[in-house]
Amino acid sequence: MLTWLIMLIYHKNRRMVKMSRCRLVLAVWILGFCAVSSATEDRNLQWFVSAEALADNNLERVWQNRLAVRKTEKLERLFILGNRIYGLSDSNYIVSMNRETGAPIFSRPIAEAGLPVLGFGLYEKDVFFIAGNRLIEINSELDTEHSSRRLEFNATCPAARNKSYFYIVEGGKHVHVLRATDKVRIFTVGIENNSMITSVVAGEDFFVLGTDAGNIVSYEADGMKQLWRFKADGSIVEPIVKDGKWLFFAGKDTNVYKINVVTGRLVWKYPAGVMLDEQPRVTQEIVYQHIRNKGLAAINKKNGKLLWQLDEGTDLLAEENGMAYVITKAGTLIVMDNKKARQVRSVNLEGVSKYAVNVTDSRIYIASEDGRIVCLKSKE
C-alpha cells in the first residue's frame, strides 16, 4: 500500500507541474480524494462484515482500500470497465484500481466540481465520457488524456463508439456521427416521429437508437442507411444492453425485451407487470431485472422465462457457478441458487451505500460514501 501511495504522489506532482493554474487549484481542492490510505489500522479493520460472517457464508475478503475522501466530499459512483474498477467522487475526481488486487492505477480530476459527467465507456484501452460539453478520452493504462474535444452542442446521453466513429445525442433529437480519429462530424441522424432519443449503442458495423416512443432503430456505422426498425409499446429505458448478437432492454410498457441485433426481430419479451425504470443486467445465462415494488427478477436468457423473483432484491453484485449474489434494500447480501430458484445464504453488510455491478465474474465490490472499498469473492 505504501508503494502505491508513493507512486500516486509522484504522478500527481508530475501532473501538477504541467497543469494550468485553474487545474492546479482544482486538483489541490480535491487532493484528499486522490490517495489510497496505507494506515495499518485500515488494513486490520474488517469493514462492512466480519471474517466470521464471511466464512459462514463461504465468502472471503480479497482486498480492501480506503480512498482518502474529504469530509465535504463523497464517493458517488463505483463501476467496472474491463479489468479496472473506478471510484468517482461528487467533485468529479476519479480513482482507477486493479480489480484483482485493489492496487491504484491512476487518480485525477476529470472535470470541475459540479459539471455533469455522462458515461463512462471503454473501447480497447481508452475510457471515454462527456464532461460538461467536452468529449474526453483517457488511456486506462497510462493515465494520459490523449483527446479532449469541445462539442458544439449539449449531449443528453452517454456516448457510444466503435473503431471508426463516436455517436453522441444532442438534445434528445439528433445523433451526431463523429469520426473517431479527429472528432469531425460527418453525419447527423434524426428520428422521423420527433420522439426523444434515450439511448445509443454501437457495434463495429452499426449503431442503434432507442427512443421515448418505443422505437429501436439500427443504422449502418456511418449513419447513411437505416437497417431495421423495431417498435415497443413504451419508452425505452437507457441504456440498451448489447450482448453478442442480441440486444436487451427494458421498456416503460412493463416488458423486458430480447431482440436480434442483425435483423431487429423479437426473440422474447418478459412481462414484468409494472413500468420499468432500470436497465437489465445481462450475464452468460441470466437476465436480471429490477422491478419497482417487486424486487429483482431472474429471467432465463435463452427463452425469457422467469426463474425466480426476490421481493427485497435491489440489484446484482456478481454471479458464479449458478449462484447470484444480490444486494437488498436493507443492505443484505443474499445468495440465490439460480437452478433451484431459492435463497441459500445471506449476510448483513453494515454501512454499505455503493456497489459495482459485475456481470463477468464472481468478484463482489462494495463501498461506502466515505471511500472504503472492499472486494469479496466466494471461497474456492
Please name the residue that has the C-alpha cell 441504456: 239
Distance between CA 107 and CA 88 in Å, rounded?
Answer: 10
Asked if residue 105 belongs to a domain, the reply is no
Task: Identify residue 372 by its one-letter amino acid code.
Answer: R
Contact (Cβ atoms closer than 8 angstroms) between residue 269 and residue 263: no
Asked if residue 168 belongs to a domain, the reply is no
Distance between CA 253 and CA 289 in Å, rounded?
Answer: 14
Residue 263 exposure: Cα atoms within 13 Å on the Cβ side:
6
First to last CA, the chain: 26
Task: Identify residue 65 by its one-letter amino acid code.
Answer: N
Identify the CA nearest to 331 among candidates 307, 350, 315, 306: 350
pLDDT of residue 25: 35
Ranges of H-type helices in 66-123: none
| 141-170 as b/e: b if 16+ CB within 10 A | eeeeeebeeebeeebbbbbbbbebbbbbbb
Contact (Cβ atoms closer than 8 angstroms) between residue 190 and residue 169: no
Asked if residue 223 belongs to a domain, the reply is no
pLDDT of residue 146: 75
Task: Identify residue 56 by its one-letter amino acid code.
Answer: D
Distance between CA 232 and CA 251 in Å, rounded?
Answer: 7
Identify the CA nearest to 66 among candidates 379, 378, 380, 351: 351
Contact (Cβ atoms closer than 8 angstroms) between residue 45 and residue 37: no
Asked if residue 350 belongs to a domain, the reply is yes
- Global pTM reads 0.89
Return contacts of 302-310, CB within 8 angstroms, 24+ apart: 303/268, 304/256, 304/258, 304/267, 304/268, 304/269, 304/270, 305/270, 306/270, 307/338, 307/341, 308/336, 308/338, 308/341, 308/342, 310/334, 310/336, 310/343
Q: What is the pLDDT along the chain (380 residues), one digit of tens a residue?
A: 444 444 444 444 434 433 443 343 344 334 444 445 444 445 557 899 999 999 999 999 999 999 867 788 999 999 999 999 999 999 999 999 999 999 999 998 999 999 999 999 999 999 999 999 999 999 988 777 778 999 999 999 999 999 999 999 999 999 999 999 999 999 999 887 889 999 999 999 999 999 999 999 999 999 889 999 999 999 999 999 999 999 999 999 999 999 999 999 999 999 999 999 999 999 999 999 999 999 999 999 999 999 999 999 999 999 999 999 999 999 999 999 999 999 999 999 999 999 999 999 999 999 999 999 999 999 86
Contact (Cβ atoms closer than 8 angstroms) between residue 12 and residue 6: no
pLDDT of residue 142: 74
Asked if residue 79 belongs to a domain, the reply is no
Asked if residue 327 belongs to a domain, the reply is yes
Distance between CA 374 and CA 85 in Å, rounded?
Answer: 11
Using only C-alpha atoms, the chain has a radius of gyration, in whole angstroms, of 21
- Whichever domain contains 377, its CATH number is 2.40.10.480
SS3 state at 35: coil
Contact (Cβ atoms closer than 8 angstroms) between residue 348 and residue 331: yes
Asked if residue 228 belongs to a domain, the reply is no
Contact (Cβ atoms closer than 8 angstroms) between residue 104 and residue 45: no
pLDDT of residue 41: 44
pLDDT of residue 42: 54
Counting the structural domains of the chain, the total is 1
Domain that holds residue 319: 50-64+280-380
Asked if residue 314 belongs to a domain, the reply is yes
Return contacts of 80-83, CB within 8 angstroms, 24+ apart: 80/356, 80/357, 80/358, 80/360, 80/365, 81/120, 81/121, 81/122, 81/127, 81/140, 82/122, 82/140
Identify the CA nearest to 203 among candidates 170, 163, 249, 146: 163
Contacts of 157 (CB under 8 A, 6+ apart): 118, 168, 169, 172, 197, 198, 199, 200, 238
* CA distances for 165 relative to 132, 158, 246, 262, angstroms: 20, 14, 21, 19
